[in-house]
Amino acid sequence: MREEKLTALILTVLLSIAAALYLFPVYWMVSTATKTRLDALSIPPKWIYKPTLEHFKAIFSRGSGSSFAHQLLNSFIVSFASTGLVTIFGSLAGYAFSRFPLKAKDDLLFFILSTRMLPPIVVIIPLAVMYRSLGLFDTRLGLIIAYTVFNLSFAVWMMKSFVDEIPKEYEEAAMVDGYSRLRAFLKFVLPEMRTGMVATAIFSLITSWNEFTFALLLTADKARTAPPSIAQSMGVSGTNWGYIAAGSLLLVIPVAAFTFILRKHLLRGFTFGAIKG
Amino acid sequence: MAEVRLEGVSKRFGRIQAIWRLTFEVEDGQFAVILGPTGAGKTTTLRCVAGLERPDEGHIYFDGRCVDGLSPAERDVAFVFQSFALYPRLTVYENIASPLKARGMGRDEIERRVRWAAEVLRISHLLDRMPDQLSGGEMQRVALGRAIVREPNVFLLDEPLSNLDAKLREGMRTELKKLQTDLGATFLYATPDHAEALSMGDKIIVINEGRIHQIGTPQEIYDRPADTFVAYFVGSPGMNLLPCRIISEGDRLFADIGPGAFRVELPPEVKEGLEDATTLGIRAEEVEVSLREERGWLRGRISLVETLGGYNIVEVDLGGIAVKARTDFSFSPPPGAEVWVRFRRDKIRLFDREGRAIPSPAACKAPSNA
């Protein structure tokens, strides 16, 4: 009994240290965002200070170019739209790869994955040239397409492995019962795929939301998303860390909230195989 | 209910020939069993009949009507999967009702039929449960319920008892057979368990590596196996298969086992094609063993005694050749004990170099996968 208590105590201490280490940057971000410029730079750091919202005000009333709020909206639209497309296409392709005897299936799957092997910076120049001539440069649609293509490869693989885990007997039983393949898919397979779809969506959303390279080089002002805009505010006349921290905080909140709401699915999604096994 | 006929049906998966030119028929109301070891092609055969796989060649007929181009739904078959495949998000009631709903039946009629099926299978008290709240035996009944709730052309059952424990399996064997008789349904049942096949089947189709080895009644399959595979696969233990050479002395014929170990006299009526025999087969229960010396019997030593409850299986060493015999439970000599052994002559089977029976069993249809 005493030994168990001791183990629990040691574990609690270790986990508290780990949590403190992980959460410290978050604390730093929040405190910097709510400190005045002077407080933020004081050495030694001020632990007790009078909080201010001046940086948030600055963010939403920026003078030149589109406002941060507008860029946040761009981030929102681009990320959610591409996530929706990625989840739909990824699920359908994953189902097809899992269930149908396609010719050269392994080669196709490898090809799909190989699109992920090039770092974005390598493809960005030809892509930028193409985007300019197609009129997609500095448009939300352009970014949505880029993110969808970029995330789809992973989504296909992820969804394929999720569908692999669903016994194909479900839809076969349904087809024998008298349903068409499409109805069997919609009625019996899709509900089982939900967990996988949520996990894929979260992954895709986080990637698109945080994406930097494409956003920086395929947009100028109109369709610019939040991440490159934050980087841009590291100006020549010194860096306003409070402003950057406030921007980062605003950037973190939506995706953190989304993940928090769907965390049950996420946990089940990533341990899907383990639970089934 | 329908009569089902397969004509030269083959299916290949990549490099693996799952089934090859299978030809057989299941009569209306017959309980036919496809018997074979794992990987023999049993499931593929059932899936081809159900329309879940498209055969590479050959045709399938229901009541003389070719169903090759029809979808599983159009074929109107019931399939009981090995894993039961109950819909995890539907209650037992909804699971059983599913095929009726898919066919657009009215709510009252669905209710009436589901209640009837549940009563027949004694699962009325489970109708509101979810599949994950059921035991293996209950799941199996629900899966059967989903099959019997409508009147399909044929019931296809893919090892439906293999996920159940031994005791339950025995009980379900009797119940399934009774259910089939009561419904007057055509059953095509796949199993690797010879005891299931022998106890339930009106007709047994023995397959291995995608090819038919023998088609016959349980009695024919057991007594007159068409080849050494069937002889060894069917029965527990499998038939003793002993290497031999045929020699004649005047009018009398002998099988020289080993060769050189011991001799067994063959019944006089066996003549045709005898020179080709290279294997002698005898079932364990046709080998008599005695602790007393008997005239004309073979002398051997006990090497192993397996106690199986109602009877024992003893292994006797006859001049270096091991022969299994089935004896009474009371017969339990210690290993090394001297015993006398005799083979019942009329139960001796002979096989040629390719393992085919000599003469080939007349009562059984020749395998038509040439």
pLDDT of residue A238: 67
Chosen for mutation from B75, B81, B103 (greatest number of chain A CBs closer than 10 Å) is: B81
Examine residue A277 and state whether it is found in any structural domain, yes or no: no
DSSP state of A239: -
Separation of alpha carbons A84 and A260, rounded Å: 18
Bridge partners (DSSP) of residue B205 are B34, B215
**Residues A175, B85: C-beta atoms closer than 8 Å:** no
- For the cut 90, the answer to whether the pLDDT of residue B93 exceeds it is yes
Nearest residue in B to A179, CA atom = B102
Examine residue A5 and state whether it is found in any structural domain, yes or no: no
The pLDDT confidence band at residue B313, using thresholds 50, 70 and 90, is very high
pLDDT of residue B368: 42
Closest-CA distance of chain B to residue A159, Å: 20
Helix H or strand E encompassing A258: helix A241-261
| Angle at alpha carbon of residue B266, lines to B261 and B271, rounded to 5° | 125
Q: Which of A167, A169, A177 lies closest to B102 in CB terms?
A: A177
Which ipTM did the prediction report?
Answer: 0.81
The residue type found at B141 is: R
Examine residue A247 and state whether it is found in any structural domain, yes or no: yes
**Residues A172, B85: C-beta atoms closer than 8 Å:** yes
Examine residue A97 and state whether it is found in any structural domain, yes or no: yes
**Residues B73, A188: C-beta atoms closer than 8 Å:** no
Question: In this predicted structure, which of A36-45, A160-169, B113-122, B291-300 has the lowest mean pLDDT?
Answer: A36-45
**Residues B146, A172: C-beta atoms closer than 8 Å:** no
**Residues B73, A178: C-beta atoms closer than 8 Å:** yes
CATH of the domain at A107: 1.10.3720.10
Q: Which of A174, A176, A180 lies closest to B50 in CB terms?
A: A176
The residue type found at B53 is: E
Task: Return the number of CB contacts < 8 Å for A and B.
Answer: 51
**Residues A175, B72: C-beta atoms closer than 8 Å:** yes
- Taking 70 as the pLDDT cut, the residues of chain A under it are 1, 62-66, 234-238, 266-277
The pLDDT confidence band at residue B252, using thresholds 50, 70 and 90, is confident
Q: Which of B77, B87, B89 lies closest to A176 in CB terms?
A: B77
**Residues B160, B162, B83, B218, Cα dihedral to 10°:** -30
The pLDDT confidence band at residue B270, using thresholds 50, 70 and 90, is low
Nearest residue in A to B83, CA atom = A169
- State the CB neighbour count (10 A cutoff) for residue A44: 5
Backbone φ, ψ for residue B110 (5° rounding): -60, -50
The pLDDT > 70 percentage for chain B reads 96
Q: In what order do the strands lie in the sheet with B16-26?
A: B16-26, B4-13, B57-62, B65-66
Contacts of residue A177 in chain B, CB cutoff 8 Å? Answer: 73, 98-99, 102, 146
Q: Which of B77, B79, B87 lies closest to A170 in CB terms?
A: B87
pLDDT of residue A49: 80
Contact by Cβ (8 Å): B143, B85 = yes
- For the cut 70, the answer to whether the pLDDT of residue B215 exceeds it is yes
Closest-CA distance of chain A to residue B38, Å: 19
Contacts of residue B71 in chain A, CB cutoff 8 Å? Answer: 175, 180
User: Would an 8 Å CB–CB cutoff place B78 in contact with chain A?
Assistant: yes
pLDDT of residue A257: 87
Closest-CA distance of chain A to residue B72, Å: 5
Examine residue A20 and state whether it is found in any structural domain, yes or no: no
DSSP state of A46: P
Nearest residue in B to A101, CA atom = B13
- Tell me how many domains chain A contains: 1
User: Would an 8 Å CB–CB cutoff place B145 in contact with chain A?
Assistant: no
pLDDT of residue A236: 55
DSSP state of B207: E
**Residues B140, B146, B149, B150, Cα dihedral to 10°:** -130
pLDDT of residue B366: 39
pLDDT of residue A237: 59
The pLDDT confidence band at residue B151, using thresholds 50, 70 and 90, is confident
**Residues B85, A167: C-beta atoms closer than 8 Å:** yes
Examine residue A18 and state whether it is found in any structural domain, yes or no: no
| pTM recorded for the entire structure | 0.79
Separation of alpha carbons B213 and B83, rounded Å: 27
Nearest Cα residue to B46 out of A172, A210, A265: A172
**Residues B81, A177: C-beta atoms closer than 8 Å:** no
Contacts of residue B103 in chain A, CB cutoff 8 Å? Answer: 178
Examine residue A158 and state whether it is found in any structural domain, yes or no: yes
pLDDT of residue A269: 59
Averaged pLDDT score across all residues of chain B: 90
Examine residue A182 and state whether it is found in any structural domain, yes or no: yes
Chosen for mutation from A166, A168, A175, A176 (greatest number of chain B CBs closer than 10 Å) is: A176
Separation of alpha carbons A66 and A223, rounded Å: 9
Nearest Cα residue to B45 out of B19, B84, B71: B19
pLDDT of residue A248: 87
Question: In this predicted structure, which of B14-28, B154-168, B265-279 has the lowest mean pLDDT?
Answer: B265-279
Contact by Cβ (8 Å): B255, B266 = yes
Question: By three-state DSSP, how is residue B142 classified?
Answer: helix
The pair of three-digit structure tokens given for residue A94, joined into one six-digit string: 């994953």
Separation of alpha carbons B227 and B214, rounded Å: 8
**Residues B87, A174: C-beta atoms closer than 8 Å:** yes
Domain that holds residue A129: 26-42+50-270
**Residues B146, A175: C-beta atoms closer than 8 Å:** no
pLDDT of residue A1: 66
Chosen for mutation from A177, A180, A268 (greatest number of chain B CBs closer than 10 Å) is: A177
Cβ within 8 Å of B, A 208-227: none
User: Would an 8 Å CB–CB cutoff place A166 in contact with chain B?
Assistant: no
Nearest Cα residue to B25 out of B3, B52, B2, B1: B3
Cβ within 8 Å of A, B 92-121: 98-99, 102-103
Helix H or strand E encompassing B275: none
In B16-56, beta strands by DSSP E: 16-26, 31-35
- For the cut 90, the answer to whether the pLDDT of residue B18 exceeds it is yes
